[in-house]
Chains A and B, each alone.
Chain A
Amino acid sequence: MIEIRGLEKYFGALQVLKGIDLDVAKGEVLSVIGASGSGKSTLLYCINGLEPIQKGSVIVDGTDVHAKGTDINKLRQKLGMVFQQWNSFPHLTALENVALAPKIVKGKSKAEARDIAERQLRHVGLDDKLNVFPSALSGGQQQRLAIARALAMEPTYMLFDEATSALDPELVGEVLDTMRLLAEEGMTMICVTHEMGFARDVSDRVAYFHQGVMEEIGPPEQIFGNATSGHTRKFLANVR
């Protein structure tokens, strides 16, 4: 379970998160929507400790992410992350991209790591690209590779930071399908997304962020059908 309490985050003098309280239960799929600059991506970075926070706390399975004594590298193994810019490692093959972290972070043997990598690449439908370098993959394939790479660490949670925003429109579908597959398998997911269709059809809950504040959170039917906040309604009217 992820518990966020009174989270405040500044970039210099600019406050980008203004006291967020949010719980995400195991097995839940939460979509986070909102305009760019609303703080939704920053939220993900704060959850896995890639950005320091100024106030409040983020607790993952009972461990305080930002506490001094926390072994952040250990904790991050629970929190798979997929970025907007897919960030495949260009000097490694698809297989090596996925196998590296299990090998050097978790200390798996070469054979084990290879097994895990093959399994996860099959999982995302890239089993015919094992020995291909990322430069020979399309953006959609690279993003699926990034998903496989995160899954190889056997995370409890998956964080998606606008995983489809940088893709050409015709490549968005394959990545969303992979994310949908994970949701069906019961993965706990927090998806910062601009894909309203995905948010509505796949999520258990949808949160709307506006200028560093979580304006509204609830089941998709409520957010998309009967939003209470004027900001939410205005945002949704504009994106559709």
Chain B
Amino acid sequence: MFDYNFHWRPVLKNLPDLLGAGLLTLQVAVLAMVVGIVIGLAIALIRMHMRGPLYWLATGWVELARNTPALFQLFFFGFGLGAFGLHLSPFAIVLCGLSFNCAGYLAENFRGGFQAVPETQLRAARSLGMTAWQAYTRIIIPQVFRIVYHPLTNQLVWAVLMSSLGMLVGFRELSGETQFFASRTFRIFEYFAATAVIYYVIVKIILLASRLLAARLFRY
């Protein structure tokens, strides 16, 4: 037992690369969140206000995103679309997969958020002569965002954790980069241990930033 010699030097040498890859992880997660928020809002509104094909498309999206593994979704955007001659880059595969997943989960959060804003708020806004668009963008959605703020933060954390699946589709974000170095040096444990710490720090930074931002955004 413990006749294994830990070698941290190579890890230390590649630390800047790992941190750079960590930034890429954060970037793809944030980007997926932005896309997920826009589509998630649209899905929530469609499911609340529309019937017909668009409703079923939105519902299908939500149920597929929530009831299949994220890795399956990534594979779908990888091999699955490949079947139709559509070959995405590893970055695009991860971005599409994560956005698809985030949109599905966020749509349900948004739906709950919309239901929590009293209907009378819309009436009050409309009675002042605001258009439906103005009422939603100025009155309803800002309140929805406060209600779903914590779920939103959690989803961003999930997106960061989920982006690690990138290493299985050839994307060199933090996990992919780690695997690359680990397989070259055979110091698998050391590299992945360092990466685990980096993920942990990224998650903690997100949670801290979210708390600071909330204090500034929600003074009411």
Measuring CB to CB, which residues of chain A are less than 8 angstroms from any residue of chain B?
A: 48, 50, 73-74, 76-77, 79-81, 83, 85, 87, 89-91, 100-101, 104-106, 133-135, 146, 149-150, 153
Contact = CB atoms under 8 A, between A and B. Distances in A.
30 contacts: A50-B126, A73-B126, A73-B130, A76-B127, A76-B128, A77-B128, A81-B124, A83-B120, A83-B123, A83-B124, A83-B127, A85-B120, A87-B118, A87-B121, A89-B143, A90-B143, A91-B143, A91-B220, A101-B128, A104-B134, A104-B138, A105-B129, A105-B130, A106-B129, A135-B220, A146-B124, A149-B128, A150-B128, A153-B128, A153-B129
A5 B220 CA distance: 45
Nearest to A76: B129
Nearest to B137: A104
Contacts of A77: 128-129
Interface in B92-139: 118, 120-121, 123-131, 134, 138-139
Given A90-B143, A101-B129, A105-B130, A134 B220 contact: yes
B146 interface: yes
A43 B156 CA distance: 47
A101 B130 contact: yes
B85 interface: no
Contacts of A80: 127
B53 interface: no
A164 B59 CA distance: 42
Interface string B194-210: 00000000000000000
A105 B127 contact: no
Interface residues of B, number: 21
Contact of B130 (A91, A104, A135): A104
Given A90-B220, A133-B220, A81 B130 contact: no
Contacts of A149: 128
Contacts of A89: 121, 124-125, 139, 143
A184 to B, nearest CB: 24
Contacts of A48: 127
Contacts of B51: none
A103 B134 CA distance: 11
Contacts of A100: 128, 138
A81 B127 contact: yes
A48 B127 CA distance: 7
Interface string B124-162: 111111110010001100110010000000000000000
A229 to B, nearest CB: 32
Contacts of B118: 85, 87
B210 to A, nearest CB: 18
A220 B128 CA distance: 30
A80 B130 CA distance: 12
Nearest to A98: B128
A150 B129 CA distance: 10
Contacts of A146: 124
Contacts of A90: 143, 220
Contacts of B143: 89-91
B219 interface: yes
Nearest to B124: A87
A135 B139 CA distance: 16
Contacts of A106: 129
A76 B124 contact: no
Given A79-B127, A133-B220, A149-B128, 14 more contacts: A76-B129, A83-B124, A85-B118, A87-B118, A87-B124, A90-B143, A91-B143, A101-B129, A101-B130, A104-B130, A104-B138, A105-B129, A105-B130, A133-B219
A135 B142 CA distance: 16
Nearest to A74: B129
Contacts of B218: 91
A188 to B, nearest CB: 16
A149 B120 CA distance: 15
Contacts of A76: 126-129
A87 B122 CA distance: 9
Closest 5 CB pairs of A and B: A87-B124, A133-B220, A101-B128, A81-B127, A76-B129
